[in-house]
Structure 1
Amino acid sequence: MRKWLTQRQSSGDKSINFQAGGGIHLGIGYRDAKDIARETAMEVFEKNFTRLANEAWRTAQLRAGEFTDHFIEGIYGWDDPPLGQLNDPGIQSALFSAQSGYAKSGDPELGDVLIELLSERLKYSQQRSTAQLAISKAVELAESLSGPHLALLSCNLLMKQITPAQVSSVNEVASAIAGMLRPFTDGIASIMPSDLDYLAGLGCLIPTMGTLTLGKYTGMNLPGLFNRGFTNKEMIDAHLLIGTPIAKLKEPDEYRYSVNAITRVDLLNLLEVHGMQDLEETAMRALMGPVLTEHEIEKILSAESAELANSLDLCNALGIPGYLNTAIGSAIGHANMRRAVPEFDLPFESLLKEIPRVRPRFA
């Protein structure tokens, strides 16, 4: 095992380390740290950004200064501001990428997305993980994206990686999804098929072998709401569920039943509450087996929300179901979601583990 000489420094609570000559370590309070952090951040920019003609250089400096002020103000409001991490080489590299990206464009939307990405990057400074690497790359690439590109990545994220939580009806699902997509539909309207290839070339999207539609993901994650139900004739062991708290009568005329749960987690909890875990395989088959097709689900959702129907038509016409966000694309889409909907607080790392569910607060 190699012995590294460049080790991280650490100090007590409410102090930041700076290394002076002769191996002396000085800790300072947060009162002065904010100003020092800004000076450090601007020094990173001024020593690395390409010198331009006088007027262009002044514009770049002003933009970088404004970006830095917003960034420092944002993290200074955290419960435990990680200002000392600005001395980390990886953080400084990401900071410079973000500063220079905004300095070149002056686009406020891009500036907000870069601040969200940079703030998220600070959370992963101590671990070299997929989340950290994806966010670092996302900071580099963000300046190469337009507003519609950002909107597309957020839409793709919402339609394929996030499911509404605390919903109990098809109408609530449609309203929640429409509300989540609302801030991005105008941007999607100006997307062209060539933009998908462009984003794929940058590493933000990846083409899939088939199509991955909103209907498919919604059916997978909320099967209890999009279910044909079952009868004794269709399911040989249905009698094990009928007459128990696990099943409910769906269509009396046909003696058709459905599972009394919306998600797989709901079903597992229901089985545990009633001490019927031995029926898990049968109950799960009854929940997942009779799920409607993706096209049927999208038709139902569209009938519930004209706004959602319009978004689906746009995305399907562009061929978006044929693409998935990469981890980098998800990092950018997540940051843009945070920009557009401040109350959206789903951690980025959760997107890399499983399909998370969020409360439909955006409807």
Structure 2
Amino acid sequence: MIWRQHQKGGDNSQNIQAAIANFGLGYDDVLSVVSNYVESALERYSADAFAEARRRVEELTINYLQKIRDEAPETLINVREPAVQAALLDAQTAYAKSGDASLGKVLVTLLASRTKSADRNIQQLALSAAISSVDKMSTTHLNLCSAHFFASTVIAAGLKVPDELYLFLKATTGPFVENLEASPSDLSYLLDVGAVKADVVNEMKLITEYFKRYPGLFCGGVTADRVPHFDWHVKQGNVAPSQRSAGLYQVTSANLDDLAVRLNGSQHEEDLGVLSSLLLENPMSEEAAFLEMSDKIAGFREFSDLWERRNGLRGFTLTVTGLAVAHAHAQAVLGRRLFFADLETWIA
């Protein structure tokens, strides 16, 4: 998505009209929402503040239309629904007050997802709540949500070797954890705005989160005699020499789900049970894994400290609203080419 920046001052109504006309979308419905907000909510501002707030509202609307046109132009008809209009007005209010480009991208991402359905289901309710919540968040708070999301919730599929995990984490987690600083008050504030909830039973270290989701990538290797139909699995690429221990072998799947996909319908599908147990054998120490990840991913050591300190991130779980915020911020920062999973993967 191209985030357009317009000049201050002036009346950009013609820009919106041209955009809507060019997109071939529901002009009257969208323009009426914009006009209603401008006329009812901005008129109390001073002349200079009015002009700037109106510019921001129109900028947000044009970028919203651009995203809808690129992703699902047929869904703009849903803007006629009161709930969708309410979400649009909330987003316009937030951006009129802030003007922060990062916030604008998140709002546009949330709005586009909200517009795709007029149904009153849990996903749409979460998106509407997220639009209201991000109005109260700084970039630090948004980064905390997305960093927590990738550390505790997202599972990358199809990883075969450790370096693939590190490439994934550098690309997806790195932008949120590098140079991330947050005070205890920042974490408490996320609780206040409904993005997280207290999780007093979660005492898991950050590195343990990754061991739990990708056990096969932290395996130190097993001997060939432990692998049934060894030659066949090597030929199929299901087993390969260990990258951690010379003379040993590893199952080339990160976890049970990936292994099940690889073996499904194959000649030796019955080996799933044995091979899955090998994913858990001879694990490297958490201390060694932590050092390795700290070396590979900028900001990981500092993020781990933030996670594990007293009243740190591990004491919180993302709420449904927080998941919607984290997902939208991740897509706004990373782009759909890099992070294309839809929100329904986690909220359905």
Using the TM superposition, give the Cα deviation of residue 94 of structure 1 relative to its aligned residue in structure 2, in angstroms. 0.4
Partner of 2:70: 77
Deviates most, 267-276 or 142-151: 267-276
Using the TM superposition, give the Cα deviation of residue 30 of structure 1 relative to its aligned residue in structure 2, in angstroms. 8.1
Match of 1:222 among 214, 222, 241: 214
Distance 1:84 1:303, change over 3 A: closer
Contact 1:98–1:114 (CA under 8 A) maintained in structure 2:
yes
Partner of 1:116: 109
Distance 1:31 1:276, change over 3 A: closer
Amino acid corresponding to residue 350 of structure 1 in structure 2: T
Map 1:102-251 → 2, pairs under 5 A: 102-125=95-118, 127-185=119-177, 188-189=180-181, 191-208=182-199, 209-230=201-222, 238=226, 245=233
Give the whole-Å Cα distance in 1 for the aligned partners of 2:164 and 2:299.
13
Give the whole-Å Cα distance in 2 for the aligned partners of 1:295 and 1:331.
33
Contact 1:34–1:76 (CA under 8 A) maintained in structure 2:
no
Contact 2:109–2:328 (CA under 8 A) maintained in structure 1:
yes
Partner of 2:11: none
Partner of 1:358: none
Contact 1:213–1:294 (CA under 8 A) maintained in structure 2:
no
Could you list the per-position Cα deviations for residues 26-48 of structure 1 after superposition, in whole angstroms to 9, with x for gaps in the alignment? Answer: xxx98764532442221341465
Distance 1:164 1:295, change over 3 A: farther
Contact 2:161–2:254 (CA under 8 A) maintained in structure 1:
no
Partner of 2:33: 41
Distance 1:303 1:83, change over 3 A: closer
Secondary structure at the aligned position of 1:144 is classed as coil
Contact 2:75–2:117 (CA under 8 A) maintained in structure 1:
no
Distance 1:37 1:295, change over 3 A: farther
Give the whole-Å Cα distance in 2 for the aligned partners of 1:281 and 1:244.
16
Map 1:268-279 → 2, pairs under 5 A: 268-272=260-264, 274-279=266-271
Amino acid corresponding to residue 196 of structure 1 in structure 2: L
Deviates most, 96-105 or 72-81: 72-81
Give the whole-Å Cα distance in 2 for the aligned partners of 1:322 and 1:95.
33
Contact 1:124–1:131 (CA under 8 A) maintained in structure 2:
no
Partner of 2:332: 339
Secondary structure at the aligned position of 1:206 is classed as strand
Distance 1:150 1:247, change over 3 A: closer
Give the whole-Å Cα distance in 1 for the aligned partners of 2:171 and 2:159.
13
Match of 1:350 among 342, 345, 348: 345
Could you list the per-position Cα deviations for residues 63-99 of structure 1 after superposition, in whole angstroms to 9, with x for gaps in the alignment? Answer: 2222222222332334534222111011001011001
Contact 2:78–2:116 (CA under 8 A) maintained in structure 1:
no
Unaligned runs of 5+ in 1: 1-28, 354-363
TM-score by length of 2: 0.78
Distance 1:86 1:287, change over 3 A: same
Partner of 1:65: 58
Give the whole-Å Cα distance in 2 for the aligned partners of 1:196 and 1:50.
33
Contact 1:231–1:256 (CA under 8 A) maintained in structure 2:
yes
Give the whole-Å Cα distance in 2 for the aligned partners of 1:31 and 1:291.
55
Could you list the per-position Cα deviations for residues 205-264 of structure 1 after superposition, in whole angstroms to 9, with x for gaps in the alignment? Answer: 1222123444223223322211144569xxxx957576762666759x998654343332
Query: What is the RMSD computed on CA atoms of the aligned residues?
Result: 3.4
Match of 1:329 among 322, 337, 340: 322
Match of 2:304 among 299, 312, 335: 312
Give the whole-Å Cα distance in 2 for the aligned partners of 1:78 and 1:243.
46
Give the whole-Å Cα distance in 2 for the aligned partners of 1:114 and 1:274.
45
Give the whole-Å Cα distance in 1 for the aligned partners of 2:261 and 2:45.
65
1:284 pairs with 2:276: yes
Secondary structure at the aligned position of 2:270 is classed as helix
Unaligned runs of 5+ in 2: 1-20
